[in-house]
């Protein structure tokens, strides 16, 4: 409504309402290295393309005359009530896109009550982000130093992060041809290590070359399912495992006493030639039922995408690249634009499909057209 009313005064929005158009606009604005780092994927981009194609194979079958005058977007995930089933997923190194980086993202999310998942690889320390953020979760890249891991968890807890998301699929960075061609990795230039550089355990051990020290402990390839007990000991809130694609792993997360999983392939940035994340979702929700909260990401661009993920059993979804492009294009206002568009689109699509709230979409409103 606001947009149409502004149009009466010849005021047009400065960013498009179709969020898929943001990528090329961001490409016009950003340095080649920064753009490629965000837009790029693993290998040939096969997994990233599959993520989008999978959404097109599921079609919504709207239901009529269901009195959907309004639509309740609130939901409960990991024992918490969230204002929307859309969260801002952890995207690191945002200061390479805009000088305010994660601070601008946190402010935009706070104004709309949208929860933010802050990355370990943030370019602003978690305490600074917490000062301006609303509802917030902390994403852990589990470093190869247990004392440092515990320090991250203690700091997150002390600064009000209410859930822990442990990313499993990135114990090392994948083969990413764009970044290799540009010989560009932001971390080696001191962007995206701010949670490390601001940590007392890290600084005590880093010596005079913190970036070199970072390279020795960012990755943690030897982790196994048994290590999760350590996290439980040191984090008393809910824990979700991010990067789950295999039904066996979803079951193991249940067995390990986790509270949630994020079905995700990291936006196609890790294993090329993998299944679409959406194709992993239905088998996983079927396998684990209500034993664990299932969240989803990788490829969400529209309200319809969110409805499809909810109908396939996700309780909430995480957004990745689109808000990073909003940030690149217009800072806090750009992120706000992305969120408002997505949430308005989601609400309209739910109502026009005859769904009164975010828990109602089910397989009954989907048809697979393959």
Is residue 115 at the binding interface for ligand FNR, with CB under 6 A as the rule? no
Q: Which of 91, 133, 244, 338 binds ligand FNR (CB under 6 A)?
A: 91
What is the Cβ-side half-sphere exposure of residue 223, based on CA atoms within 13 angstroms? Answer: 25
Is residue 319 at the binding interface for ligand FNR, with CB under 6 A as the rule? yes
Annotated active-site residue 266? The verdict is yes
Measured distance CA(87)–CA(73) in Å, rounded: 12
DSSP 3-state assignment of 268?
helix
Segment interacting with ligand FNR, rule: CB under 6 A, options 25-33, 106-114, 124-132, 296-304:
296-304
* Distance of closest approach, residue 288 Cβ to ligand FNR, in angstroms: 20
At residue 316, φ and ψ (nearest 5 deg) are -160, 165
Based on CB atoms, which residue is closest to ligand FNR, 319 or 335? 319
Residue nearest to ligand FNR (CB): 320
Q: Which of 143, 260, 299, 326 binds ligand FNR (CB under 6 A)?
A: 299
Pick the closest to residue 260 from 281, 235, 242 (CA basis): 242
Q: Computed over its alpha carbons, how large is the radius of gyration of the chain? A: 20
Measured distance CA(315)–CA(357) in Å, rounded: 12
Segment interacting with ligand FNR, rule: CB under 6 A, options 125-133, 176-184, 291-299, 335-343:
291-299
Measured distance CA(115)–CA(139) in Å, rounded: 13
Measured distance CA(46)–CA(64) in Å, rounded: 37
Is residue 38 at the binding interface for ligand FNR, with CB under 6 A as the rule? yes
Based on CB atoms, which residue is closest to ligand FNR, 46 or 357? 46
Pick the closest to residue 86 from 330, 353, 366, 335 (CA basis): 335
The contact pattern for ligand FNR, residues 234-273, with x = CB under 6 A and - = no contact, is --------x---------------------x-xx-x----
β-strands 75-77, 293-297: how paired?
unpaired
Catalytic residue among 98, 178, 213, 266: 266
Active site residues: 266
For ligand FNR, the binding residues (CB under 6 A) are 37-38, 51, 89-92, 119, 121, 139, 167, 242, 264, 266-267, 269, 297-300, 319-321, 324
């Amino acid at each position: 409504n606001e947009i149409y009313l502004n149009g009466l005064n010849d005021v047009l929005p400065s960013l498009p309402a179709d969020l898929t158009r943001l990528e090329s606009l961001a490409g016009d604005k950003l340095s080649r290295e920064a753009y490629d780092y965000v837009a790029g994927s693993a290998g040939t981009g096969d997994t990233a393309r599959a993520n989008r194609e999978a959404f097109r194979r599921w079609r919504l079958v709207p239901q009529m005359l269901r009195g959907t005058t309004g639509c309740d977007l609130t939901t409960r995930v990991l024992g918490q009530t969230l204002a929307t089933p859309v969260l801002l997923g952890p995207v690191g190194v945002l200061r390479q896109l805009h000088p305010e980086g994660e601070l601008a993202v946190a402010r935009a999310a706070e104004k709309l009550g949208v929860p933010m998942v802050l990355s370990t690889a943030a370019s602003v320390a978690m305490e600074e982000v917490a000062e301006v953020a609303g509802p917030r979760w902390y994403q852990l890249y589990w470093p190869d130093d247990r004392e440092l891991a515990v320090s991250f968890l203690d700091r997150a807890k002390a600064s009000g992060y209410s859930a822990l998301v442990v990313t499993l699929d990135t114990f090392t960075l994948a083969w990413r041809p764009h970044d290799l061609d540009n010989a560009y990795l932001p971390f080696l230039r001191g962007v995206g290590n701010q949670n490390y550089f601001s940590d007392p355990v890290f600084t005590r051990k880093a010596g005079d070359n913190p970036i070199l020290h970072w390279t020795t402990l960012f990755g943690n390839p030897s982790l196994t399912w048994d290590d999760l007990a350590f996290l439980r000991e040191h984090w008393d809130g809910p824990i979700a495992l991010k990067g789950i694609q295999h039904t066996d792993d979803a079951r193991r997360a249940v067995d390990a006493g986790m509270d949630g999983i994020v079905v995700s392939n990291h936006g196609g940035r890790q294993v090329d030639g993998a299944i679409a994340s959406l194709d992993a979702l239905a088998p996983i929700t079927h396998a684990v039922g209500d034993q664990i909260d299932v969240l989803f990401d990788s490829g969400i661009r529209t309200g319809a995408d969110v409805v499809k993920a909810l109908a396939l059993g996700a309780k909430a979804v995480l957004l990745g690249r689109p808000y990073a492009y909003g940030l690149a294009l217009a800072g806090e206002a750009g992120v706000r634009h992305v969120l408002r568009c997505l949430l308005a689109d989601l609400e309209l699509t739910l109502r026009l499909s005859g769904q009164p709230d975010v828990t109602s979409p089910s397989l009954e409103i989907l048809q697979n057209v393959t």
